[in-house]
Amino acid sequence: MSTASTTAYVLRGVRPYGTDPVDVVLADGVIAAIGAAGTVDVPEGATELAAGDGPGLVLLPGLVDLHTHLREPGREDAETVFSGTRAAAAGGFTAVHAMANTTPTQDTAGVVEQVYRLGQEAGWVDVHPVGAVTVGLGGEKLAELGAMADSAARVRVFSDDGKCVHDPVLMRRALEYVKAFDGVVAQHAQEPRLTEGAQMNEGVVSAQIGLTGWPAVAEESIIARDVLLAEHVGSRLHVCHLSTAGSVEIIRWAKGRGIDVTAEVTPHHLVLTDDLARDYDPVFKVNPPLRTAKDVEAVREGLADGTIDIVATDHAPHPVEDKDCEWSSAAFGMTGLETALSVVQQTMVDTGRMTWADVARVLSENPSRIGRITQSQGRPVAVGEPANLTLVDPDAIRAIDGRTQVTASDNTPFAGMELPGRVVATFLRGRATVLDGTVVDGTVIDDKNLEGATR
């Protein structure tokens, strides 16, 4: 049962991709009309959303996250499918890919279908489970990739994220296997031997404060190996959370050679540096680690010039007891769903390096394409298209506070900072999941996901 399509909306004076103001009508789950003020037919009883004073709200295709940790099953104390997807809607997302490092692992058709159904029941965003590459993320035996692909969850993205698929033979087999169903292997690029006991980026800061370093080469050597493997077997590779200047160079080289590789950067790697580790506050402990200012500049440049295809949150919620402890025993990871768009605005749009159309590309169109969900998500803001939309106020300034975020965990590295931009409304197939910057509770099972088996 879906409550979609019952309410019609007219968005007055909004700017698709940041262009000139128009009125946009949403009805029956689709974009019914777009036109100059006063020129479009507004269905009777439609709810009006006005852009207010100033330059007006920016209308984007609903955001798509290729890398979200929802923690269910297994760590419901950190997040559930419900709480994590509610946070995603608050952040402007209409679809997320749920990473496989759950307990039990998302390595069978049964577990991915369970997560897929939980996503439908929650109804906040489309949930696309990622399948594990190896059984239990153990790195020894390929999981049932085909069964997950054929399941109701229709898995296309496979990853042992949290762990690297280190065995080159297994990585090769996985790349070969996923070709049969147009899948992609998303690699967490971390050479395990080079990162034993690693706590933060290896560099000046780690030497000064006495923490074991995670060298850039541990990431870069795996990426270099994997792009060559992908070329050798003619398969598609995706690189998770790329974080170093050298990694950007390797991807640029690989794309120049025609290798079918895509890459993501997280919001935190676009702005934060390893200097933040100096106070030993584990909120800044993450994998891969925060790097240097030079790396931050390189990933921004790579994102602007298209070397890096997408921004993915790597939303990694952890309960207080796993983060509020000594640095060396704290968990790796930070939340990101509710701050991602603001960080991209601050680092890329407000600096003049990207347009809002570019934001739509890196946060919606490209992740949809990589995840093979282009029937339903990352589609143009155009008449007849499904009304998966995000309405942003770029002039708002928000003070970030982990305790008031929608996610069940409060480990945001942006706590205490002010960030530009606020998600005013999010629509999933024409149904508002967020209005006036607040999530709309009382949603019900949404089984209209066109990519799923239940269409």
Ligand X SMILES: NC(=O)N[C@@H](CC(=O)O)C(=O)O
Whether 395 is catalytic is no
Q: Which does 248 bind (CB under 5 to 8 A by kind): ligand X, Zn ion, none?
A: none
**188 assigned ligand-binding residue:** yes
Site membership for ligand X, residue 90 (CB under 6 A) = no
Site membership for ligand X, residue 161 (CB under 6 A) = yes
Site membership for ligand X, residue 319 (CB under 6 A) = no
- Picking from 279, 287, 115, the residue whose alpha carbon sits closest to that of residue 199 is 287
Coil, strand or helix at 213: strand
Hunting for tokens 């698929």 — which residue is that? 165
Q: Which does 309 bind (CB under 5 to 8 A by kind): Zn ion, ligand X, none?
A: none
**101 assigned ligand-binding residue:** yes
Q: Which CB atom, from 240 or from 406, has the smaller least distance to ligand X?
A: 240
User: Which helix or strand (DSSP H or E) is residue 223 part of?
Assistant: helix 216-233
Q: Which does 333 bind (CB under 5 to 8 A by kind): ligand X, Zn ion, none?
A: ligand X
**201 assigned ligand-binding residue:** no
Coil, strand or helix at 331: coil
- The full DSSP string for 150-168 is HSTT---EE--TTS----H
Q: Looking at 17-137, which runs of residues are DSSP E strands?
A: 22-27, 30-35, 47-50, 58-61, 63-68, 93-98, 126-129
One-letter identity of residue 377: Q
Site membership for Zn ion, residue 191 (CB under 5 A) = no
Is 404 exposed, middle or buried (CB count within 10 Å of its CB: 0-12, 13-18, 19+)?
A: exposed
Site membership for ligand X, residue 132 (CB under 6 A) = no
Kindly state the tokens that stand for 96: 């997320």
Coil, strand or helix at 369: helix
Q: Which does 332 bind (CB under 5 to 8 A by kind): Zn ion, ligand X, none?
A: ligand X
Torsions phi, psi of 439, nearest 5? -65, 145
Partners of residue 200 on adjacent β-strands: 213
Torsion angle of the four alpha carbons 175, 309, 272, 197, in this order, in degrees rounded to the nearest 10: 10
Site membership for ligand X, residue 286 (CB under 6 A) = yes
The maximal CA–CA distance of the chain, rounded, in angstroms, is 66
One-letter identity of residue 23: D
**67 assigned ligand-binding residue:** yes
Q: Which CB atom, from 161 or from 220, has the smaller least distance to Zn ion?
A: 161
Site for ligand X in 98-117 (CB under 6 A): 101
- Picking from 404, 400, 402, 406, the residue whose alpha carbon sits closest to that of residue 434 is 406
Residue 73, preceding bond cis, omega within 30 degrees? yes
Site membership for Zn ion, residue 79 (CB under 5 A) = no
**Residues binding Zn ion: what is the number (CB under 5 A)?**
3
Task: Compute how many other C-beta atoms are within 10 angstroms of the C-beta atom of residue 199.
Answer: 22
Site membership for ligand X, residue 162 (CB under 6 A) = yes
Q: Which CB atom, from 123 or from 288, has the smaller least distance to ligand X?
A: 288
12, 163, 188, 268: which one binds Zn ion (CB under 5 A): 188
Q: Which CB atom, from 314 or from 322, has the smaller least distance to Zn ion?
A: 314
Partners of residue 418 on adjacent β-strands: 399
2, 243, 287, 307: which one binds ligand X (CB under 6 A): 287
**211 assigned ligand-binding residue:** no
User: Is the Cβ–Cβ distance between 84 and 91 less than 8 Å?
Assistant: no
CB of 226 to Zn ion, least distance (A): 14
**332 assigned ligand-binding residue:** yes
Site membership for ligand X, residue 236 (CB under 6 A) = no
**166 assigned ligand-binding residue:** no
Kindly state the tokens that stand for 421: 């931009």
CB of 334 to ligand X, least distance (A): 7
Coil, strand or helix at 368: helix
226, 274, 314, 410: which one binds Zn ion (CB under 5 A): 314
- The full DSSP string for 39-56 is SS---TTPEEEE--STT-
Q: Which CB atom, from 123 or from 333, has the smaller least distance to ligand X?
A: 333
User: Is the Cβ–Cβ distance between 210 and 196 less than 8 Å?
Assistant: no
Site membership for Zn ion, residue 226 (CB under 5 A) = no
Site membership for ligand X, residue 314 (CB under 6 A) = yes
Residue of closest CB approach to Zn ion: 188
Site for ligand X in 59-78 (CB under 6 A): 69
61, 62, 84, 333: which one binds ligand X (CB under 6 A): 333
Q: Active-site residue among 23, 314, 322, 446?
A: 314
72, 113, 161, 358: which one binds Zn ion (CB under 5 A): 161
Torsions phi, psi of 186, nearest 5? -100, 110
**What is the 8-class DSSP label of residue 62?**
P
**268 assigned ligand-binding residue:** no
In the complex, the residues that contact ligand X under the rule CB under 6 A are 69, 101, 161-162, 188, 286-287, 314, 316, 332-333
Binding site listing for substrate: 69-71, 101, 287, 318, 332-333
Binding site listing: 67, 69-71, 101, 161, 188, 241, 287, 314, 318, 332-333
Active site residues: 314
Binding site listing for Zn(2+): 67, 69, 161, 188, 241, 314
In the complex, the residues that contact Zn ion under the rule CB under 5 A are 161, 188, 314
